[in-house]
Chains A and B, each alone.
Chain A
Amino acid sequence: MSEQTVDAPVARARSPLSEAWEMFRHNHSAMLGLALLSLIVLAAILGPMLYQTDPFDMVWAPFSPPGEEGFLLGTDYLGRDLLSQILHGARVTLIIGLSAAIVTVVIGVTVGALAGFYGGIIEEMLMRFTEFFQVLPTLLFSMVIVALFGASLPMITFAIGIVSWTAVARITRSEFQRVRELEYVMASRASGATNAKLMFQVILPNALPPIIVQSALMVGSAILFEAGLSFLGLTDPNVVSWGQIIGSNRQYILEAGFTVTIPGLAIFITVLAISLVGDGLNDALNPKLRKR
């Protein structure tokens, strides 16, 4: 720890990051989203440790309504504790959402950066490649991958990532095209920077804001995507996820609607929180767009 935290007497120029945070902090809906998201992440990390009921154990009669017999959220069609399933499901849902978004961003930024940086025939080919992936029926294609190659978590993550990266690639490309022409990039190029250095150290930092926003939103859509897959039963049967709770209980909505509404609410609130944070980031990182 250094001792530089002492307040300087002179007003210093503020870093762009602290300026962005300042803007974010005054955005009520973004802060609400951040608070919700923190709560959800905390529940996912600590929940299963504090609340130790096994989500696969049959603890009580099926369809016990929330609040009765000490089961806060009731029990599902096999008499398993819904609260425990939600808490364990939160982990799986968040991990898949996050890692699928990472896959998306890695592929999208690579393709977009190469296309936007080199232009010409490379760009033409990479954009045709992107177009090709845009034509694939996303959910159907992932369903087929998961059904054929096994429903393990890494395979599900891959199946979501491989069909979702095109938006990131397009945004990265257009940002690279814009930043590439700026004078400071010319200057670095003239002073002999290598292409790799230009791409990742010179251009990327300035192209980053819209990419960050898109990546944040990507986590939300990956969570929805995973929920859809596991609702259809295309999921690892040895783990609980929110979509899968809905899928396995949906025949019983007449007896116990709560077994479907509660996990759905969890997905809804999580994705809502992420999109509020994403919108807040958008306003904070692109102050010019704020009026829109």
Chain B
Amino acid sequence: MNALRVTTTRIFYAVLLLLAVLVLNFTMMHLAPGDVADTIAQSMGGADEETMAQIRADYGLDKPFIVQLGSYLGRVIRFDLGYSFYYNQPVTSLILQRLPATLLLVFTAQLFAMIVGVVLGVISARRPNGILSHFVTFISLFGYSAPVFWTGILLLIAFSLKIQWFPVAGMRDVTLEGGFWVQTLDIIRHMVLPTITLGSIFLALYSRLSRASMMETLGSDYVRTAKAKGLTEREVVYKHALKNALSPVITLAGLQFSAVISGAVLVETVFAWPGLGTLAFQSILARDTPTILGILFFSALMVIVGNLLTDFVLRLVDPRLKGRA
């Protein structure tokens, strides 16, 4: 009952937020010097005033701002993101082509960072002065301080150029012949370095946080009770404490969606990964307004949906949150 109302309120706010993002993006594009007509004229190799005026009339660019904004919002609601003159394709299909690669990279990197981070954090929480604990401190400092594109290039130099274990760029080898498994294995080989690079930022965060949260949980009363009733150390840590220590990590992971997208833009550029990040970069350089607007919309959508999902998962993990707004 209550949970249902909380969910609907959240979804309502999420939609409002998304609308606000759309308005801001569109306004920003509108304020910037140059418009779609310039881009089209450029792709035609120049156009005279009359043709420019014709193009502007065709695309409704001569109408007042409010009318343009209204028709833009109307189109987005119908999931029509316009047409890219740079790529000669509808923006929606362009984005949907690139989306799987980005989602694959982003989710694998997050999964990698969370699993390795939590494992490192938990082990080092049990021995706060052990070697592993110092290692966690070191990688969390490294992950925070090293620019992610530099980490990527260092890995590229070490593992693709010096020792040639992994391919230099891209997502698959197009010349490769073979069935499903050969292709999958090829994608995995291409994914290793980008995943580690993108994951390194978040690995730092998660290992540090899960260590802190695990140490706090291990000191709490109910853990002492569990120990007192004769459970083994292992049972206490992995059955009782871990579940509670996990919820701040999930919360933090949920807040990272925006940072993940930013990281993905840089990592995809370094490894020429054919995802949304490289598309965003190219369309920004080419001033391809419809594509830029489409990508901004999609990224905001991903962040908002991600936040809703995190909330949902947290409620599953942490029963204390049930029914709370």
**Residues of A near any B CB (own CB < 8 A):** 128, 131-132, 134-141, 143-145, 147-149, 220, 224, 227-228, 231-234, 243, 246, 250, 253-254, 257, 260-261, 264, 267-269, 271-272, 275-276, 292
Does B113 sit at the interface, judged by CB under 8 A? Answer: no
Contact between B28 and A145, CB atoms less than 8 A apart = yes
Give the residue name and chain of the B residue nearest to A142 (CB): B262
Main secondary structure of the interface of A (DSSP, over half): helix
Contact of B266 among A134, A149, A231, A261 (CB under 8 A): A231
Given A144-B292, A271-B144, A132 contacting B156 (CB threshold 8 A): no
C-alpha spacing A132/B156, complex, angstroms: 36
Stretch of B67-75, B104-112, B277-285 lying at the A interface: B277-285
Contact between B147 and A268, CB atoms less than 8 A apart = yes
What is the size category of the interface that chain B forms with chain A?
35 or more
Distance in angstroms from B87 CB to nearest chain A CB is 17
**Residues of B near any A CB (own CB < 8 A):** 13, 17, 20-21, 24, 28-29, 32-34, 141-142, 144-150, 153-154, 156-157, 161, 212, 216, 255, 258-259, 261-263, 265-266, 269-270, 280-281, 284-285, 287, 292, 295-296, 299-300, 303-304, 307
What chain B residues lie within 8 Å of A268 (beta carbons)? 142, 145-147, 150
Contact between B149 and A137, CB atoms less than 8 A apart = no
Contact between B147 and A228, CB atoms less than 8 A apart = yes
**Sorted from nearest, which 5 A-B pairs have the closest CB atoms?**
A139-B262, A264-B150, A148-B32, A137-B299, A272-B145
C-alpha spacing A234/B149, complex, angstroms: 15
Give the residue name and chain of the A residue nearest to B156 (CB): A253
Contact between A135 and B154, CB atoms less than 8 A apart = no
Contact of B21 among A136, A144, A253 (CB under 8 A): A136
C-alpha spacing A132/B14, complex, angstroms: 10
Contact between B153 and A137, CB atoms less than 8 A apart = no
What chain B residues lie within 8 Å of A232 (beta carbons)? 265-266, 269, 281
C-alpha spacing A257/B148, complex, angstroms: 17
Contact of A131 among B17, B261, B262, B296 (CB under 8 A): B17
Contact between A224 and B284, CB atoms less than 8 A apart = no
Contact between B156 and A144, CB atoms less than 8 A apart = no
C-alpha spacing A254/B169, complex, angstroms: 14
Contact between B280 and A143, CB atoms less than 8 A apart = yes
Contact between B269 and A132, CB atoms less than 8 A apart = no
Q: List 20 A-B contacts (CB under 8 A).
A: A132-B17, A134-B258, A135-B300, A135-B303, A136-B300, A136-B303, A137-B262, A147-B284, A148-B29, A220-B145, A227-B149, A228-B266, A231-B147, A231-B149, A232-B265, A232-B266, A243-B147, A260-B157, A264-B153, A268-B147
